[in-house]
């Protein structure tokens, strides 16, 4: 006899239906990419209501407000007003409501405030100042991050202080008083009747642990607990679920261990991997049909993720069309890589594909600069999803402000932006008084802070001294800008002496590392500009560089309201999204996987990140890596990512820039294959540690951790001439070299010394070029 099911059940496939209809205790649903997990969660809630569970006794937890709104809207379509009664929302929003109900048990009033990230950092700053600690050692960002991590691990201030391992680590990090700051921080929150964002989970755990009657009441009102994206839960979230549901309660979680990519936020993949051991009698369901992607895309993703050991076995499949092979393109440089992606998208748009169905994915925010630059040149509209255009990041705008002041010290916007960055003890009240005085005197802020005019500003002597010191700093930068040294040297000196470099490079929090990547990429852009202008036999200057930056940001503003645009974003931001065409750039060792990821668990997460990138594609997935890339001010030879060797070779097609021959070497370079600077066309299978060690042996002249060969051309000489030489530094006449723009060439002549050293190079495709070695960044092959 056929069983009659409501429409929301009939719409499900068999695997989805089994999971939704199961009502026998804990259930773990492994939902592969594109397998319809949201549909399953919605159907589960509707089914529970049909079984007689009161909507108010169903708790459904998500990681984003968007996901909660989408689920509630779908439930409302079938269940009407009952949808409003379901306890649905993010972990933080649901448990903040419970905390308000029982706030008095924790010594809070129900009206407690919730501190956002800025509020928390400001409180940390105030405590550091009160304790008279050096805020360059006890960086507020670092301290706030340590406190946040402690709370997510359920470490109270007292437990933090008494933990010997943490104490040793903090002492070795030269911040032994972080525990003391944590104690005061928590006391101040309590005094202010406030909780920070992490407290919403931390205090909920304390409430449930220390007040058994509250725990029983919460259990009584939670007949069923559903959790979305379970692979992203941290320890605090896991413990809340464990306390409420016990070992055998009605808990239904949906997730995919293959898409666990947020460990830097505290996510613990072991929560999903050990769920069946933690919750006794768990029933495991696997949603293995991918409704999103072509068969080829799914099979390639499977071949990649199969190399991970820490996973729940599954075989994702698709019944969609077979689809095209996955293209892996080998570009000569990072610029060529961006140009290749832009060309492909332009061609597809010419065939009628909307720009909005294309996305370009990359590992780090800093990679977007070159991509943005190329898209502007090709007039391809784009938007940055989940972030900013490169030159809109705060750390970049701060550096640009200093460079602007070196050219135009009367720029009041730039002056006020950095007068107290890095911190100089010049507060808002002082800045407002300075602005008011300067306006009344019809002067720029720079003029008003000179030693001749500072007495007119109503501040005390100590503050006046700080203002004049900043004036002198900027005056020194103005003088530097007129010196007869290279533009890039001027910029680097300004960035260093302003204190910006030390501030950015001293912050090793996850957010700080992102700022460092952007900062280093800005230095790369300065070096590249120097080379580009010099090669065109023009004189690079700060003023022209700043004009170019201003024109780029203005162009971004003009296209901000367009809707049919290509989406540029990091892979982390792409989680949960899908596009017809996906381009994944930067598949190189040290970049993807990241140089910061060295342990097996870290490398497995990098592999999962690549898996997420591939599975964003519905119809086409194209992947690219560059042979050379500017990194830390030098042009480095890159190695293809080990992950490329893990993709099923029968499902990929390889293409390359025209200057790279079929053997994977550079055309016109008789020594390339001999020296092993470039890998053959076949990617290293699984790229073992042995492979990486062997490769490193072929490139002995490298700084630790890098694969590029750097050319040193000596230092500045007072007696530079244009005398000819057979060799300069490590370069010799007759050497085959690589240039970022012109490709492969042979050195015909060398002349000059120090900063004036020059080479005449006969490039295979561009002919003879004469260039300054200091700026040319030639790589010897």
- DSSP letter string over 210-278? H-HHHHHHHHHT-SEEEESSGGG--HHHHHHHHHHHTTTS-EEEEE-GGG---GGGT--THHHHTHHHH
Examine the pLDDT at 667 and tell me if it is beyond 70: no
Least Cα distance to 583 among 304, 252, 347 occurs for 347
CA distances from residue 1 to 4, 16, 352 in whole angstroms, order as listed: 9, 21, 50
Average pLDDT over residues 328-336: 95
DSSP letters of 325-385?
A: PEEEEEEEEHHHHHHHHHHHHHHHHHTT--GGGEEEEESSGGGHHHHHHHHHHTT--EEET
The CATH code of the domain at 7-103+207-287 is 3.40.50.300
pLDDT at position 744, please? 84
Give the model confidence (pLDDT) of 293-318 as tens digits: 999 999 999 999 999 999 999 999 99
pLDDT at position 458, please? 94
pLDDT at position 668, please? 41
Please, which pLDDT band fits residue 756 given cuts at 50, 70 and 90?
A: low
Q: Considering the chain, what is the average pLDDT of its residues?
A: 86
Cβ neighbours, 10 Å, residue 25:
17
Give the model confidence (pLDDT) of 91-141 as tens digits: 998 999 999 999 999 999 988 888 888 889 999 999 999 999 998 899 998
Please, which pLDDT band fits residue 561 given cuts at 50, 70 and 90?
A: low
- Measure the CA–CA gap between 370 and 338, rounded to whole angstroms: 7
| Catalytic status, residue 228 | yes
Average pLDDT over residues 449-464: 94
Alpha carbon 522 to its chain's center: 16
Can you name the residues that pair with 89 across neighbouring β-strands?
A: 61
Task: Answer yes or no: are the C-beta atoms of 330 and 625 closer than 8 Å.
Answer: yes
The two three-digit tokens of residue 726, written as one number: 């057979």
Please, which pLDDT band fits residue 630 given cuts at 50, 70 and 90?
A: confident
The CATH code of the domain at 113-192 is 1.10.10
In sequence order, the 6+-apart residues with CB closer than 8 A to the CB of 587 are 328, 610, 623, 624, 625, 640, 641, 643, 644
Average pLDDT over residues 243-260: 94
Q: What is the pTM of this model?
A: 0.75
Please, which pLDDT band fits residue 508 given cuts at 50, 70 and 90?
A: confident
pLDDT at position 536, please? 62
Examine the pLDDT at 460 and tell me if it is beyond 90: yes
The two three-digit tokens of residue 91, written as one number: 């972990």
Q: Where are the alpha helices (DSSP H) in 153-232?
A: 157-162, 164-172, 178-191, 199-210, 212-220
Can you name the residues that pair with 582 across neighbouring β-strands?
A: 359, 621
Average pLDDT over residues 15-36: 96
Examine the pLDDT at 720 and tell me if it is beyond 80: no
Beta strands 382-384 and 566-570, pairing class: parallel
State whether residue 578 is helix, strand or coil.
Answer: coil
Average pLDDT over residues 597-606: 95
Least Cα distance to 270 among 231, 309, 305 occurs for 231
Give the model confidence (pLDDT) of 354-406 as tens digits: 999 999 999 999 999 999 999 999 999 999 998 777 888 899 999 999 999 99
State whether residue 177 is helix, strand or coil.
Answer: coil
Give the model confidence (pLDDT) of 64-86 as tens digits: 888 898 999 999 998 898 888 99
The two three-digit tokens of residue 710, written as one number: 């750097």
- Measure the CA–CA gap between 754 and 760, rounded to whole angstroms: 16
Examine the pLDDT at 145 and tell me if it is beyond 50: yes
Task: Answer yes or no: are the C-beta atoms of 586 and 626 closer than 8 Å.
Answer: yes
The domain made up of 392-513 has a fold known as PCRA; domain 4 (1.10.486)
Handedness of CA 264, 267, 272, 273 (dihedral sign): positive
Please, which pLDDT band fits residue 526 given cuts at 50, 70 and 90?
A: confident
Examine the pLDDT at 595 and tell me if it is beyond 70: yes
736: region left, alpha or beta (phi > 0 left; psi from -120 to 50 alpha): beta
Report the interhelical angle of 235-245 vs 212-220 (nearest 10°): 80
b/e burial code for range 443-480 (CB count within 10 A of at least 16 → b): bebbebbeeebbeebebeeebbebbbebbebbbebeeb
Please, which pLDDT band fits residue 717 given cuts at 50, 70 and 90?
A: very low
Beta strands 731-732 and 736-739, pairing class: unpaired
Element (H, E) at 473: helix 461-481
State whether residue 285 is helix, strand or coil.
Answer: strand
Least Cα distance to 265 among 521, 573, 611 occurs for 573
Handedness of CA 239, 244, 245, 250 (dihedral sign): negative
- Measure the CA–CA gap between 536 and 554, rounded to whole angstroms: 25
pLDDT at position 755, please? 62
Task: Answer yes or no: are the C-beta atoms of 183 and 157 closer than 8 Å.
Answer: yes
- Measure the CA–CA gap between 652 and 410, rounded to whole angstroms: 57
Average pLDDT over residues 138-151: 93
pLDDT at position 708, please? 33
Asked whether residue 776 is marked as a ligand-binding residue, the answer is no
DSSP letters of 726-765?
A: SEETTEETT-EEEETTTEEEEEEEEE--GGG-EEEEEETT
Examine the pLDDT at 773 and tell me if it is beyond 50: yes
The two three-digit tokens of residue 135, written as one number: 């805020």
In terms of Cβ atoms closer than 10 Å to its own Cβ (0-12, 13-18, 19+), residue 259 is buried
Residue with the bigger pLDDT between 42 and 718: it is 42
Beta strands 758-763 and 743-751, pairing class: antiparallel
Tell me how long the chain is. 781
Asked whether residue 406 is marked as a ligand-binding residue, the answer is no
The two three-digit tokens of residue 33, written as one number: 């990419």
pLDDT at position 693, please? 35
- Helix then strand then coil, in percent of the chain rounded to 5, is 50, 15, 35
Average pLDDT over residues 621-631: 93
Asked whether residue 35 is marked as a ligand-binding residue, the answer is yes
- Measure the CA–CA gap between 697 and 591, rounded to whole angstroms: 20
Q: Of the residues 16, 259, 282, 463, which is catalytic?
A: 259
| Catalytic status, residue 511 | no
Percent of the chain with pLDDT over 90: 64
pLDDT at position 363, please? 96
The CATH 1.10.486.10 portion of the chain extends over: 392-513
- Measure the CA–CA gap between 702 and 709, rounded to whole angstroms: 6
Least Cα distance to 389 among 609, 578, 575, 552 occurs for 552
Can you name the residues that pair with 652 across neighbouring β-strands?
A: 326
Examine the pLDDT at 484 and tell me if it is beyond 70: no
Least Cα distance to 723 among 702, 754, 763 occurs for 754
| Catalytic status, residue 677 | no
Asked whether residue 38 is marked as a ligand-binding residue, the answer is yes
Q: Give the architecture (CATH level 2) of 326-381+564-697.
A: 3-Layer(aba) Sandwich (3.40)
Least Cα distance to 415 among 435, 436, 394 occurs for 435
Residue with the bigger pLDDT between 469 and 510: it is 469
Least Cα distance to 314 among 249, 238, 231 occurs for 231
Task: Answer yes or no: are the C-beta atoms of 672 and 666 closer than 8 Å.
Answer: yes
Give the model confidence (pLDDT) of 394-428 as tens digits: 999 999 999 999 988 988 888 999 999 998 999 99
Asked whether residue 699 is marked as a ligand-binding residue, the answer is no
Least Cα distance to 354 among 580, 649, 183 occurs for 580
pLDDT at position 512, please? 87
- Measure the CA–CA gap between 735 and 415, rounded to whole angstroms: 48
Q: Of the residues 16, 37, 395, 774, which is catalytic?
A: 37
pLDDT at position 762, please? 86
Q: Give the architecture (CATH level 2) of 724-780.
A: Beta Barrel (2.40)
∠ CA 119-122-127 to the nearest 5 degrees?
130
pLDDT at position 765, please? 74
pLDDT at position 680, please? 35
Please, which pLDDT band fits residue 661 given cuts at 50, 70 and 90?
A: low
The two three-digit tokens of residue 450, written as one number: 């000179």
Residue with the bigger pLDDT between 441 and 706: it is 441
Torsion of CA 771, 773, 774, 779, to 10 degrees: 120
Q: Of the residues 198, 199, 228, 588, which is catalytic?
A: 228
The two three-digit tokens of residue 374, written as one number: 């190329």
pLDDT at position 706, please? 29
Asked whether residue 36 is marked as a ligand-binding residue, the answer is yes
| Catalytic status, residue 642 | no
- State phi, psi for 49 to the nearest 5 degrees: -65, -40
| Catalytic status, residue 616 | yes
Q: Of the residues 17, 18, 23, 38, which is catalytic?
A: 38
| Catalytic status, residue 209 | no
The CATH 3.40.50.300 portion of the chain extends over: 7-103+207-287, 326-381+564-697
The CATH 1.10.10 portion of the chain extends over: 113-192
Q: Of the residues 376, 514, 608, 616, which is catalytic?
A: 616
Q: Of the residues 196, 198, 199, 229, which is catalytic?
A: 229
pLDDT at position 696, please? 32
Task: Answer yes or no: are the C-beta atoms of 22 and 47 closer than 8 Å.
Answer: no
């Amino acid at each position: 006899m056929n069983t009659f099911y409501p429409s929301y059940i009939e719409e499900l496939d068999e695997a989805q239906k089994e999971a939704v209809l199961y009502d026998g205790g804990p259930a773990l649903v492994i939902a592969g990419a594109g397998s319809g997990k949201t549909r399953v969660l919605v159907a589960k809630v509707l089914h529970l209501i049909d079984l007689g569970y009161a909507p108010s006794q169903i708790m459904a937890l998500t990681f984003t407000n968007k996901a909660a709104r989408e689920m509630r809207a779908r439930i409302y379509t079938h269940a009407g007003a009952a949808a409003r009664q379901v306890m649905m929302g993010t972990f933080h929003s649901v448990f903040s409501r419970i905390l308000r109900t029982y706030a008095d048990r924790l010594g809070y009033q129900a009206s407690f405030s919730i501190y956002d990230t800025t509020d928390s950092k400001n409180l940390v700053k105030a405590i550091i100042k009160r304790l008279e600690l050096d805020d360059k050692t006890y960086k507020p960002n670092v301290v706030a991050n340590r406190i946040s991590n402690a709370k997510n691990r359920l470490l109270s201030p007292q437990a933090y202080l008494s933990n010997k391992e943490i104490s040793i680590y903090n002492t070795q990090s030269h911040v032994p008083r972080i525990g003391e700051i944590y104690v005061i921080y928590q006391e101040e929150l309590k005094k202010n009747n406030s909780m920070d964002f992490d407290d919403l989970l931390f205090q909920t755990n304390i409430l449930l642990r220390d007040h058994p009657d509250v725990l029983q009441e919460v259990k009584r009102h939670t007949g069923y607990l559903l959790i979305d994206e379970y692979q992203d839960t941290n320890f605090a979230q896991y413990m809340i679920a464990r306390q409420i549901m016990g070992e055998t309660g009605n808990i239904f979680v949906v997730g995919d261990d293959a898409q666990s990519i947020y460990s830097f936020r505290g996510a613990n993949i072991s929560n999903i991997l050990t769920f069946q051991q933690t919750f006794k009698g768990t029933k495991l369901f696997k949603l293995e049909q991918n409704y999103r992607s072509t068969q080829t895309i799914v099979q390639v993703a499977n071949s990649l993720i199969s190399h991970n050991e820490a996973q729940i076995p599954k075989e994702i499949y698709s019944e969609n069309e077979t689809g095209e092979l996955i293209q892996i393109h080998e570009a000569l440089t990072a610029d060529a890589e961006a140009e290749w992606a832009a060309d492909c998208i332009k061609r597809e748009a010419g065939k009628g594909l909307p720009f909005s169905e294309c996305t370009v994915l990359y590992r780090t925010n800093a990679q977007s600069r070159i991509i943005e630059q190329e898209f502007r040149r090709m007039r391809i509209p784009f938007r940055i999803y989940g972030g900013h255009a490169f030159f809109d990041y705060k750390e970049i705008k701060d550096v640009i402000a200093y460079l602007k002041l070196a050219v135009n010290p009367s720029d009041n916007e730039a002056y006020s932006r950095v007068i107290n960055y890095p911190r100089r003890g010049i507060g808002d009240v002082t800045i407002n008084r300075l602005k008011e005085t300067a306006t009344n005197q019809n002067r720029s802020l720079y003029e008003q802070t000179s030693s001749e005019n500072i007495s007119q500003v109503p501040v005390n002597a100590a503050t006046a001294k700080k203002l004049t010191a900043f004036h002198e700093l900027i005056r020194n930068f103005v003088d530097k800008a007129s010196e007869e040294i290279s533009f890039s040297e001027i910029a680097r000196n300004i960035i260093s002496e302003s204190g910006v470099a030390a501030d950015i490079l001293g912050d090793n929090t996850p957010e700080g590392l992102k700022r460092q990547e952007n900062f280093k990429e800005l230095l790369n852009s300065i070096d590249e500009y120097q080379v580009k202008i010099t090669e065109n036999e023009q004189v690079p200057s700060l003023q022209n560089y700043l004009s170019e930056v201003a024109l780029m940001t203005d162009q971004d503003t003009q296209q901000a309201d367009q809707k049919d645009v290509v989406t540029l974003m990091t892979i982390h931001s792409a989680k949960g999204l899908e596009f017809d065409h996906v381009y994944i750039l930067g598949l190189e060792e040290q970049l993807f996987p990241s140089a910061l990821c060295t342990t097996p668990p870290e490398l497995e997460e990098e592999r999962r990140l690549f898996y997420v990138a591939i599975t964003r594609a519905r119809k086409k997935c194209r992947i690219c890596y560059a042979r050379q890339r500017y990194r830390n001010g030098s042009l480095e030879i890159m190695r293809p990512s080990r992950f490329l060797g893990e993709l099923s070779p029968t499902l990929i097609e390889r293409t390359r820039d025209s200057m790279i021959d079929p053997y994977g070497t550079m055309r016109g370079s008789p020594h390339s294959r001999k020296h092993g600077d470039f890998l053959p066309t076949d990617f290293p299978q699984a790229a073992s540690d042995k492979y990486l060690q062997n490769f490193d042996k072929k490139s002995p002249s490298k700084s630790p951790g890098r694969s590029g060969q750097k050319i040193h051309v000596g230092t500045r000489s007072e007696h530079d001439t244009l005398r000819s030489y057979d060799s300069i530094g490590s370069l010799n006449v007759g050497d085959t070299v690589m240039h970022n723009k012109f490709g492969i060439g042979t050195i015909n002549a060398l002349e000059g010394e120090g900063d004036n050293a020059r080479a005449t190079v006969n490039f295979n495709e561009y002919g003879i070029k004469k260039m300054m070695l200091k700026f040319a960044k030639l790589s010897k092959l």
